[in-house]
A = this chain, B = another copy of it.
Amino acid sequence: MAGAIDMSRVSWPDVAEALERGVIAVLAVGAVEQHGAHLPLTTDADLAHGVARRIADGLGALLLPPVAYGDAWNNEAFPGTLSISPETLRAVLEDIGRGLIRMNVEALVLVNGHFGNREPIALAARTLTGQGLPVLHLDYPRLEALAVQICESEPAGSGFYHADEVETAMMLALRPQAVDMSRAAAEYPEFPVTFGHEPMQLREFNTTGVFGDPRPATAGKGEALIAGIVEASLQLVEAFRLRHKGHEVTDGNAQ
């Protein structure tokens, strides 16, 4: 297997060659968002692109430059968070997707690193699928099981990983130089009863920006988490490819 065709390294004739063979594209979607005092603001983009790179490596796929900004509305009360609206994010993804359709890429795998991006990604996928580009969107598959198995600390909420052991460990594996463990501190905030039922800034009930306990994080745990996520992702890509083999994908009527 040839490894990722990284668009930050290769030139257009390299892409042209890959397209002739037939190739999938992999695109990370991140966010610029507070991640406590010990992690950089680009954590979500860094993690998503790191995972995307390994998926692209596994597939010999085109690795696109990441979309660094996402919809991080509920962290905007923390300075440093820079959000784009869900419509803008969707437009970015649909524009990129149309470029991939023009190039005759076979399919697009979106690797999402941020909860707030899920819906714009799903809607962009719907549009692009309707235009003939099959899109698989991944949110760190199997992470919940892996976290239980690999991590020592409890998450602050079910399936809620933010600047905690999970994300810190993954950053230690991918960009250790950007992590300052000396500033890592735990916070287990009490969620308001109406959390999830009304728009709410996380800062209303959280002081540090950390949800959980990042302190037990290690690069080794991060490697294990990433390996598990990538393995689960590649299995999903495999199923996705089988589903689309020989199928025409049509708008609003996939059967």
Within A201-229, the residues touching B (CB, 8 Å) are: 201, 203-204, 209
**Contacts A69-B65, A76-B253; A81 near B12 (Cβ below 8 A):** yes
Within 8 A of B (CB), among A75-108: 76-88, 91-92, 95-96, 99-100, 102-103
Write the residues of chain A forming the contact surface with B, with a CB cutoff of 8 angstroms: 7-16, 19, 32, 34-42, 45-46, 64-69, 73, 76-88, 91-92, 95-96, 99-100, 102-103, 119, 122-123, 125-126, 129-130, 134-138, 141, 178, 180, 183, 192-194, 197-201, 203-204, 209, 235-236, 239-240, 243, 252-255
In the complex, A189 Cα to B113 Cα: how many Å? 30
Q: Are A240 and B194 in contact, with the CB atoms below 8 A?
A: yes
Question: Could you tell me the distance in whole angstroms from the C-beta of A9 to the nearest C-beta in chain B?
Answer: 5
Give 8 A-B pairs besides A69-B96, A194-B239, A194-B240 with Cβ atoms closer than 8 angstroms. Answer: A11-B38, A73-B126, A82-B96, A85-B95, A86-B123, A137-B197, A141-B197, A193-B236
Q: Is the CB of B76 within 8 A of A84?
A: no
Q: Are B80 and A91 in contact (CB under 8 A)?
A: no
